[in-house]
């Protein structure tokens, strides 16, 4: 019986534990530009900045932060005060590079219809598509994600410059999840089958003795 449990333990240790990834590269800025900073189109001056993540190693599965948007408007007043800014529609490519799986890449394309911004109000929302990258070559620009799956939320709401949240003022994170669809290899499946068979035979012998 001890041997049976040893085989089960061996089979259970056959899954990936960590994944390393990073976000964004040159040329993936707003409206396909080279910069990750966008200025307002009218009203007082305001900026929306995206800060990508460097190489991040995380467990699988894990909730992850795929980057941060910071909305700044120094001279904006409250909406009631009436001094604000306006952003036209824009897009940004959020590029995921799966370092662990040999540099496979894919991107979540973010689109926004724009909107008004005051110190206490932000109408900016970014919608993402597709919502899943991987496993394998699913939605990959190039390379193969292997068993790794990257997913994100349907949208990111950009908080107001004076947001009063637990994060610094004006900072919104892009939320994601890193997971895996890994299944045991055929040899591992065989070991599990043998362990279950051995356990069944042990129970039959015990029943006969009783």
For the cut 50, the answer to whether the pLDDT of residue 172 exceeds it is yes
CA–CA separation, 52 vs 64, rounded Å?
Answer: 13
Which whole number is the average pLDDT over 6-31?
68
Q: Of 65-69, 139-143, 206-210, which gets the smallest average pLDDT?
A: 206-210
CB contact at 8 A, 150 and 164: no
Omega prior to 61 cis, within 30 of 0: yes
Cβ neighbours of 101 (radius 10 Å): 21
Enumerate the domain spans of the chain. Answer: 13-181
What per-residue confidence (pLDDT) applies to 87? 98
Query: Is the pTM above the cut of 0.75?
Result: yes
CA–CA separation, 18 vs 54, rounded Å?
Answer: 16
For the cut 80, the answer to whether the pLDDT of residue 193 exceeds it is no
Residue 163's closest CA among 110, 111, 122?
A: 122
Contacts of 123 (CB under 8 A, 6+ apart): 114, 115, 116, 117
Joined together, the tokens standing for residue 77 give 């007043």
What per-residue confidence (pLDDT) applies to 128? 98
Residue 68's closest CA among 51, 46, 47, 91?
A: 51
Q: What are phi and psi for residue 4, nearest 5 degrees?
A: -60, -45
Angle at CA of residue 48, ends 81 and 122, nearest 5°: 40
Joined together, the tokens standing for residue 58 give 């995380």
Which whole number is the average pLDDT over 181-185?
61
| Whole-number average pLDDT of the chain | 84
Joined together, the tokens standing for residue 10 give 């061996």
Q: Distances in Å between the alpha carbon of 120 and those of 71, 124, 128, 157, 177?
A: 11, 13, 25, 14, 30
Joined together, the tokens standing for residue 94 give 């959020």
pLDDT-derived band of residue 163, with 50, 70 and 90 as boundaries?
confident
Q: Classify 156 as helix, strand or coil.
A: strand
């Amino acid at each position: 019986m001890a041997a049976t449990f040893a085989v089960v333990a061996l089979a259970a240790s056959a899954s990936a534990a960590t994944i390393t990834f990073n976000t964004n590269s040159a040329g993936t800025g707003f409206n396909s530009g080279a910069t990750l900073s966008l200025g307002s189109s009218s009203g007082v001056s305001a900026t929306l900045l995206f800060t990508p993540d460097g190489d991040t190693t995380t467990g699988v599965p894990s909730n992850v932060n795929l980057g941060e948007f910071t909305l700044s408007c120094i001279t904006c007043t409250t909406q009631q005060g009436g001094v604000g800014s306006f952003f036209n529609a824009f897009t940004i490519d959020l590029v995921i590079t799966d370092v662990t799986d040999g540099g496979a890449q894919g991107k979540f394309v973010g689109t926004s219809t724009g909107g008004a911004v005051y110190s206490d109000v932000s109408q900016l929302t970014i919608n993402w598509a597709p919502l899943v990258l991987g496993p394998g070559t699913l939605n990959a620009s190039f390379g193969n994600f292997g068993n790794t799956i990257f997913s994100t939320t349907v949208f990111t709401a950009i908080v107001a410059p004076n947001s009063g949240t637990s994060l610094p003022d004006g900072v919104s994170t892009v939320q994601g999840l890193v997971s895996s669809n890994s299944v045991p290899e055929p040899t591992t499946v065989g070991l599990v089958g043998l362990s279950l068979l051995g356990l069944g035979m042990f129970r039959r012998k015990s029943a006969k003795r009783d």
